[in-house]
A and B are shown apart, each in its own frame.
Chain A
Amino acid sequence: MSDVQRQIAERVARLLQPGEIVNLGIGIPTLVADLLTAADGVHLETENGLLGVGPAPDADRIDASLVNAGKRPVTALPGSSYFSSSESFGLIRGGHVTTAVLGALQVDACGRVANWALAGKPILGVGGAMDLLVGAQRVIVATTHTAKSGAPKIVSECSCPLSSDRPVDVVVTEAATFTLDDRGLTLVEVAADFDYAWVRAHTEAAFGSAEEAQL
């Protein structure tokens, strides 16, 4: 895990409340699991059919029948339960998952996410992200602030295909946290190593500030 990825995961972990049922997407969101302890009181769910995901096992304790949605070995904590795919997505679409943390290729000014396909490329994978986007009570996007090319990922309009017409609730990067409401993006936090000017310069989408005086 790179420092930037870890910083993002740490910022996401701080947003999770005891008692929440949380689904972590593939990539940076998965790293959040390593930062949580039993004391955090968060129950992790994975859409391939497990509530009560525990930490990765030691190499000699890997169980081939126990994986997360990224097909990585995990453990099952006391109090966990297994369910079929249709039951799992019933829990997701039915609004029983409190928070989904998802990666993104781009987020637009309304908070809509593109996270399944590149523009102009054949589309051969979608997975469970579209279900989580419509079904989770709260969606947090965890992403680097810019792409590897340096291009902003928080943009006026996504060039990649959208994953849902539902806006997400929170966008967390290594530099900033934004919330979403009817007015669009609001900058609510700037990370210690960054400042408002950096965030402004690296964010294409328009955004407001909750407490400009503090930023």
Chain B
Amino acid sequence: MDPLSEKLIDIAAAAALVRRGDTMLVGGFGLVGKPLALVEALLTNPEATQLTVVSNNLGEPGEGLGRLLLEGRIAKAIGSFFTSNPDVVAAHGRGELEVELTPQGTLAEAIRAGGAGIAAFYTRTGAGTKLAEGRETRSFGGLEHLLWPAIRGNVALIRARAADTYGNLVYEKTARNFNPDMATAADVVVAQVDEIVPVGSLDPEAIVTPHLLVDRLVLA
């Protein structure tokens, strides 16, 4: 049996943390490292609607965030690659979904900045492209850079392999991706984990997300 953690809640309680109109950060790259159980639990919370979702993708057709989209829960998506889910393309085409396309590295850095007390940053990425339209620019070293504001969420749903009872997190291979960044950048951070182990049993050198960033744990 997993040891007790003060941060452990059941999945319905976790779903209830998301409120109408929230900006919600959701970890994962495609479905890899996506907290699927948490995302699908939101279907049972009718208040989890009119959401702005920050995630690299919006799931696959009918899976993960793709299910929330089909239920009409998502008003706006901020991410880097939505063409892999035709439902997103269709919802956007019907005017039901606002999309803010962000280069993948800029998305990751905006979230990192949001969690690190940096209001905005300049990047070369996207300079001279359509994504630069309407953005403030500045030249450094003779090259145009774009000013990009940080991103923060009301809530972050992330996925890790294991937590200790304090909420320290370790990840699984490339399922790490956006999860550690998102753990820093929301008012409430909920981590879906495969197991919870006693404090002291995770190698401190291997812990990627320190426990002060994690508010709630869900076993799923």
- The reply to whether chain A is a binding partner of chain B is yes
A8 in the interface (beta carbon within 8 A): no
A83 interface residue per 8 A CB criterion = yes
Check if B176 sits within 8 Å of A165, measured CB to CB: no
B80–A127 CB distance below 8 A: yes
Indicate whether A165 sits within 8 Å of B181 (C-beta atoms), given known contacts A93-B124, A130-B125, A130-B131.
no
B177 at the interface (CB under 8 A from A): yes
Which of A33-41, A117-125, A181-189, A195-203 lies at the interface with chain B? A117-125
Q: A122-B93, A134-B127 are in contact. Are A84 and B108 (CB under 8 A)?
A: yes
Q: Does A128 contact B (CB under 8 A)?
A: yes
Query: By the criterion CB–CB under 8 Å, are B99 and A130 in contact?
Result: no
Q: State the total of A-B contacts with C-beta under 8 angstroms.
A: 142
Interchain CB contact under 8 A, A126 and B174: no
The interface residues of chain A, by DSSP majority, are classed as loop
The answer to the question of A104 belonging to the interface, with a C-beta cut-off of 8 Å to chain B, is: no
| Closest partner residue, chain A, to B107 (CB atom) | A85
- Name B167-220 residues within 8 Å CB distance of A: 171-181, 208
Asked if A49 is at the interface (CB within 8 A of a chain B CB), the reply is yes
Bound CA–CA A117/B129 (angstroms)? 11
Chain B hits for A92, CB < 8 A: 105
Q: Specify the chain B residue showing the minimal Cβ separation from A112.
A: B128
Residue of A71, A128, A130, A134 with most partner-chain B CB within 10 A: A130
B65 contacts the other chain (CB 8 A): no
Question: How many residues of chain A are within 8 Å of chain B by beta carbon?
Answer: 41
Q: A47-75 interface mask toward B, CB cutoff 8 Å, 1 = contact, 0 = none?
A: 11110000000000001111100010000
Interface set, chain A 101-136, CB cutoff 8 A to B: 117, 122-131, 134-135
| A86 at the binding interface (Cβ < 8 Å) | yes
- B130 touches which of A48, A89, A123 (Cβ 8 Å): A123
Q: Which residues of the other chain, A, contact B172 by a CB distance below 8 angstroms?
A: 65
Partner of B174, one of A46, A89, A166: A46
Question: Is there an interface contact between B109 and A82, defined as CB atoms closer than 8 Å?
Answer: no
Contact between A131 and B181 (Cβ–Cβ < 8 Å)? no
Q: Which of B129-154 contact A (CB under 8 A)?
A: 129-131, 144
Q: How far is the CB of B195 from chain A (nearest CB, A)?
A: 14
Residue-wise, chain B 74-113 has the 8 Å CB interface mask toward A (1 for contact) of 0000001111100011001100000101111111110110
Stretch at the interface among B5-13, B14-22, B27-35: B27-35
- Residues of B contacting A128 in the complex (Cβ-Cβ under 8 angstroms): 80, 103-105
- Binding-face segment, A137-145, A147-155, A156-164: A156-164
Contact B174 A131 (CB under 8 A): no
A164 near B181 with CB under 8 A, answer no
Task: List 6 A-B residue pairs with CB atoms under 8 Å apart, sorted by A's residue number.
Answer: A50-B173, A85-B177, A86-B109, A86-B181, A125-B83, A126-B131
Question: A: which residues have CB within 8 A of B?
Answer: 46-50, 63-67, 71, 76, 82-86, 88-90, 92-93, 117, 122-131, 134-135, 161-166
